[in-house]
Amino acid sequence: MSTVEIEYCVPCGFRERAVRVQQAILSGLERELDSVRLVMGDHGVFRISVDDETVYDKAEAGDEFDVDAIVREIRSHVA
Amino acid sequence: MSTVEIEYCVPCGFRERAVRVQQAILSGLERELDSVRLVMGDHGVFRISVDDETVYDKAEAGDEFDVDAIVREIRSHVA
């Protein structure tokens, strides 16, 4: 099964956003995953990966942040 | 820095408890940690470790579950 990683910028206060997307991932995919890892980062990072493959990166997505779309993207990687 | 792992039994419905202790850990120790990992498990498991060293295990602690005491124990391992 797969591991999802959510790296977020601590000084930017992105923890709440990271926990929110983690909750959505667990609600939808808990039984299909090995683990979900929150990684403390900085310099504005907010990146989500599945088995080291990036599925969302704030540096590219800008302000666009659709939790449902992110969960669907992750689901397509773990199916 | 350190990695905290929270392994919890999915079929037992321990996710809410895992997320609650994760939140307490992040609130207190976010800037001292590398990551906090939720690991999906089964067979009644609820175990918290810091760099692979167990600091709480439901199999030994039984119904005793003091979140503040767990965070203090983790803090003593990452200091």
Mean pLDDT, residues A28-46: 97
Mean pLDDT in chain A? 96
Other Cβ atoms closer than 10 A to A50: 21
Q: Phi/psi at A2 (nearest 5 deg)?
A: -110, 160
Domain range list for chain B: 2-78
> Alpha-carbon distance A49 to B71, whole Å?
28
**Is the pLDDT score of A6 beyond 70?**
yes
| B35 within 8 A of B4, measured Cβ to Cβ | yes
With bands split at pLDDT 50, 70 and 90, how would you rate the model's confidence at B79? Answer: low
Q: How far is A32 from chain B (nearest CA, A)?
A: 9
Give the model confidence (pLDDT) of B53-70 as tens digits: 999 999 999 989 999 999
Give the model confidence (pLDDT) of A38-75 as tens digits: 999 999 999 999 999 999 999 999 989 999 999 999 99
With bands split at pLDDT 50, 70 and 90, how would you rate the model's confidence at A1? Answer: confident
Give the model confidence (pLDDT) of B14-25 as tens digits: 999 999 999 999
- A4, A29, A36: best mutation site toward chain B, by most B Cβ within 10 Å? A36
CB within 8 Å: B38 and A34: no
Q: Which CATH code, of 1.10.3710.10, 3.40.30.10, 3.40.50.720, 1.10.110.30, is assigned to A2-78?
A: 3.40.30.10
> Alpha-carbon distance B39 to A30, whole Å?
10
